Structure 1
Amino acid sequence: MTRRILPILGVVIALPTLALVAQARVPDLLSAVAEPPELLEGCGDVPEAVALAEELRDRALRIERYMASIDSRKADLMQAETTLRERLAELRALKGAASARRDGDTEAVRGDIDQLIAVYDQMKPAEAAAILTNLPADFAAEILVRVRPETGARIIAAVEPRQAALLTAQMGARSVRNP
């Protein structure tokens, strides 16, 4: 007998549900289930329940305010992050421009030095020696290192021995510093 009652109960419970689904009233059914009953429904005359309900409302308001302040801070942080990313992009662009400018300046200096070396290569050794002895020793050594070896040897031979020794020492020191 119990075997006959279970299917009948299942049909009795399922029929209203199927009727609601057929009428597309499922959202109404779910919203009725999802909506909580009024907090003080039936408890308005109990002071403890009223106090508890008020405290819960106060807490809910504080939580809402706190969440709003978190959202505000989050928006501020996103704005600051955007500003920082833009500034970083600007700084990287400036760094690239400065690097390009520095590379251009370096190339210009190299070109000037190469031209100066070509001039000393074309000079007579005695004339080049007279000029180099009046230059600072490290600068003169740099020129001597860069000219063609034959020209450099003739220039050093034309310099007085004391100055030639100093220039040779400077040339050696330069080679040690810049391997």
Structure 2
Amino acid sequence: MRKSWLSLLTLGFALPAIAVIWTSQDTSRFFAAFAEPPDLLRGCTDVPEAMALATELRDRALRVERYMQSIDEKKAELAAAERALVVKLTELRAQKNGLETRRDTDTAAVRSDIDRLVAVYDQMKPVEAAAVLTNLPADFAAEILMRVQPETGAKIIASVEPRQAAMLTAQMGARNVRNR
């Protein structure tokens, strides 16, 4: 009988608390009413079970109130952390866009430089261009040969010694395979 009575009292106090939480109202006002001993206990001070129950309920109400305050504090901390993360994310996106712009600018500058260099080799005599290209690294020489006019490239390769021409041709073929 005693356990069912305590269960009913617990249920009686739990249902309003759940209803308040469910409707997202300010729960501190609700639980603050239980922090002070109710006037109903004035005549029950000689019943130890009633006093123990009232004390237990008051303690629970105080714990719930402290818990709700800590939840509110954590919500505020989470909101501040979220704002900080949004600011950091915006900053990182701006930096990323700046890096992409800089990379695109650098890539365009490199392409422009290579195009100018290719134009120079297009204007050179094939024998002179061949002499210079044989002294460059093979991958760089192959890149230039791939970009010059086909007729000019053929004349330059014809002016290079056969073993060097074979190596440059292989390098040009390997470049095409790597880019696929």
Q: Shorter-chain TM-score category?
A: 0.7 to 0.9
TM-score, length basis structure 1: 0.76
Q: Matched residues, percent identical?
A: 72
Q: Are 2:127 and 1:132 aligned?
A: no
TM-score, length basis structure 2: 0.76
Matched residues in 1 for 2:56 and 2:167: separation? 93
State the secondary structure of the residue aligned to 2:106.
helix
State the secondary structure of the residue aligned to 2:87.
helix
Q: Are 2:109 and 1:108 aligned?
A: yes
State the secondary structure of the residue aligned to 2:41.
coil
1:64 is matched by which residue type in structure 2? Answer: E
> 1:90, CA displacement in angstroms?
0.5
- State the Cα deviation string for residues 119-178 of structure 1 (Å, max 9, x = none): 000000010000001001111011001000000000011111111111111111111112
> 1:55, CA displacement in angstroms?
1.6
Gaps of 5+ in 2: 1-32
State the secondary structure of the residue aligned to 1:134.
coil
Matched residues in 2 for 1:81 and 1:39: separation? 47
Match in the other structure for 1:80? 81
1:60 is matched by which residue type in structure 2? Answer: A
Q: Is the 8 A contact 1:39 1:53 kept in 2?
A: no
| CA-atom RMSD in angstroms | 1.7
Which piece of structure 1 moves more, 98-107 or 52-61?
52-61
Matched residues in 2 for 1:65 and 1:175: separation? 70
Matched residues in 2 for 1:39 and 1:112: separation? 92
State the secondary structure of the residue aligned to 1:40.
helix
Match in the other structure for 1:70? 71
Matched residues in 2 for 1:39 and 1:84: separation? 51
> 1:81, CA displacement in angstroms?
1.1
> 1:38, CA displacement in angstroms?
3.6
- Which residues in structure 2 correspond to 1:5-20 (within 5 Å)? none
Matched residues in 2 for 1:112 and 1:151: separation? 19
Which structure has the bigger radius of gyration? Answer: 1
Gaps of 5+ in 1: 1-34
1:130 is matched by which residue type in structure 2? Answer: A
Matched residues in 2 for 1:86 and 1:165: separation? 57
Match in the other structure for 2:164? 163
